[in-house]
Amino acid sequence: LAVKDPTAVERANLLNMAKLSIKGLIESALSFGRTLDSDYPPLQQFFVVMEHCLKHGLKVRKSFLSYNKTIWGPLELVEKLYPEAEEIAASVRDLPGLKTPLGRARAWLRLALMQKKMADYLRCLIIQRDLLSEFYEYHALMMEEEGAVIVGLLVGLNVIDANLCVKGEDLDSQVGVIDFSVYLKSDDDIGGKERNVQIAAILDQKNYVEELNRQLNSTVSSLHARVDSLEKSNTKLIEELAIAKNNIIKLQEENHQLRSENTLILMKTQHHLEATKVDVEAELQTYKHSRQGLDEMYNEARRQLREEAQLRQDMENELMVQVSMKHEIELAMKLLEKDIHEKQDTLIGLRQQLDEVKAINVEMYQKLQVSEDAMREKNEIISRLEDKTNQINATMKQLEQRLQQAEKAQMEAEAEDAKLKQEYVNKSESLQNEFSQKEKQLLQLETDLKIEKEWRQTLEDDLQKEKETVSHLRTETQEVVKLKKEFLKLQDKNKQLKSICEDQEAALQELASKLSESKLKIEDIKEANKALQGQVWLKDKEATHCKLCEKEFSLSKRKHHCRNCGEIFCNACSDNELPLPSSPKPVRVCDSCHAILIQRCSSNVP
Mind listing the pLDDT tens digit for each residue in 356-378?
A: 888 887 888 888 888 788 888 88
Specify whether the CB–CB gap between 298 and 347 falls below 8 A: yes
Query: How far apart, in whole angstroms, are the C-alpha atoms of residue 67 and residue 70?
Result: 10
Does the pLDDT value for residue 496 go beyond 50?
A: yes
Mean of the pLDDT values across residues 386-413? Answer: 78
Lowest mean pLDDT among 82-96, 525-539, 547-561: 525-539
Query: How far apart, in whole angstroms, are the C-alpha atoms of residue 469 and residue 357?
Result: 12
Query: How far apart, in whole angstroms, are the C-alpha atoms of residue 352 and residue 358?
Result: 10
Digit-coded pLDDT (tens) for 403-420:
788 778 767 766 676 676
- State the pLDDT at residue 2: 44
Specify whether the CB–CB gap between 513 and 507 falls below 8 A: no
Select the more confidently predicted residue: 177 or 91: 91
Highest mean pLDDT among 240-254, 275-289, 458-472: 240-254
- pLDDT bracket for residue 484 (50, 70, 90): confident
Three-state secondary-structure class, residue 552? strand
Select the more confidently predicted residue: 368 or 565: 368
- State the pLDDT at residue 248: 92
- State the pLDDT at residue 66: 44
Lowest mean pLDDT among 76-80, 238-242, 399-403, 479-483: 399-403
- pLDDT bracket for residue 516 (50, 70, 90): low
Query: How far apart, in whole angstroms, are the C-alpha atoms of residue 333 and residue 137?
Result: 131
Does the pLDDT value for residue 212 go beyond 80?
A: yes
Which residues share a beta bridge with 62? 67
Q: Give the strand pairing for 67-68 and 568-570.
A: unpaired
Mean of the pLDDT values across residues 93-122? Answer: 87
Amino acid at 329: I
Does the pLDDT value for residue 571 go beyond 80?
A: no
Query: How far apart, in whole angstroms, are the C-alpha atoms of residue 264 and residue 259?
Result: 9
Query: How far apart, in whole angstroms, are the C-alpha atoms of residue 103 and residue 116?
Result: 20
Specify whether the CB–CB gap between 427 and 410 falls below 8 A: no
- State the pLDDT at residue 578: 46
Mean of the pLDDT values across residues 442-464? Answer: 85
- pLDDT bracket for residue 593 (50, 70, 90): low
Please tell me the chain's helix, strand, coil percentages from 3-state DSSP, rounded to the nearest 5: 75, 5, 20
Which residues share a beta bridge with 318? none
- State the pLDDT at residue 290: 79
- State the pLDDT at residue 519: 73
Phi, psi of 121 (to 5 degrees): -65, -45
Query: How far apart, in whole angstroms, are the C-alpha atoms of residue 559 and residue 553?
Result: 7
Identify the sign of the CA torsion 522, 524, 528, 530.
positive
Tell which residue, 350, 351, 338, has the closest CA to residue 494. Answer: 338
Average pLDDT for the chain = 79
Select the more confidently predicted residue: 561 or 447: 447
Which domains are seen in the chain, by residue range? Answer: 6-183 (1.20.58.900), 545-605 (3.30.40.10)
Highest mean pLDDT among 285-299, 551-565, 587-601: 285-299
Does the pLDDT value for residue 63 go beyond 60?
A: no
Specify whether the CB–CB gap between 604 and 587 falls below 8 A: no
Q: What is the DSSP string of 20-51?
A: HHHHHHHHHHHHH-S-B-TT-HHHHHHHHHHH
Query: How far apart, in whole angstroms, are the C-alpha atoms of residue 82 and residue 101?
Result: 20
Q: What is the DSSP string of 458-500?
A: HHHHHHHHHHHHHHHHHHHHHHHHHHHHHHHHHHHHHHHHHHH
Query: How far apart, in whole angstroms, are the C-alpha atoms of residue 451 and residue 441?
Result: 15
Mean of the pLDDT values across residues 169-198? Answer: 66
Digit-coded pLDDT (tens) for 296-350:
888 888 888 888 888 888 877 877 777 667 677 678 778 888 878 888 888 888 8
Stretch (H or E) spanning 61: strand 61-62
Q: Where are the alpha helices (DSSP H) in 56-191?
A: 72-76, 78-81, 86-94, 101-115, 118-127, 129-132, 145-154
Digit-coded pLDDT (tens) for 191-202:
555 655 666 677
Cβ neighbour number for residue 291 with a 10 Å cutoff: 15
Phi-psi map region of 447: left, alpha, beta (phi>0 left; psi -120 to 50 alpha): alpha
In angstroms, how far is CA 296 from the centroid of its own chain?
Answer: 56
Specify whether the CB–CB gap between 125 and 77 falls below 8 A: yes
Mean of the pLDDT values across residues 165-184? Answer: 75
Lowest mean pLDDT among 87-96, 118-127, 181-190: 181-190
Stretch (H or E) spanning 341: helix 326-412
Query: How far apart, in whole angstroms, are the C-alpha atoms of residue 408 and residue 274?
Result: 54
- State the pLDDT at residue 600: 46
Specify whether the CB–CB gap between 406 and 427 falls below 8 A: yes
Tell which residue, 111, 93, 91, 95, has the closest CA to residue 168. Answer: 95
- pLDDT bracket for residue 132 (50, 70, 90): confident
Cβ neighbour number for residue 135 with a 10 Å cutoff: 25
Mean of the pLDDT values across residues 441-457? Answer: 85
| CB crowding 463-500: b at 16 or more within 10 Å, else e | beebeeebeebeeebeebeebeeebeebeeebeeeeee
Select the more confidently predicted residue: 173 or 566: 173
Cβ neighbour number for residue 96 with a 10 Å cutoff: 6
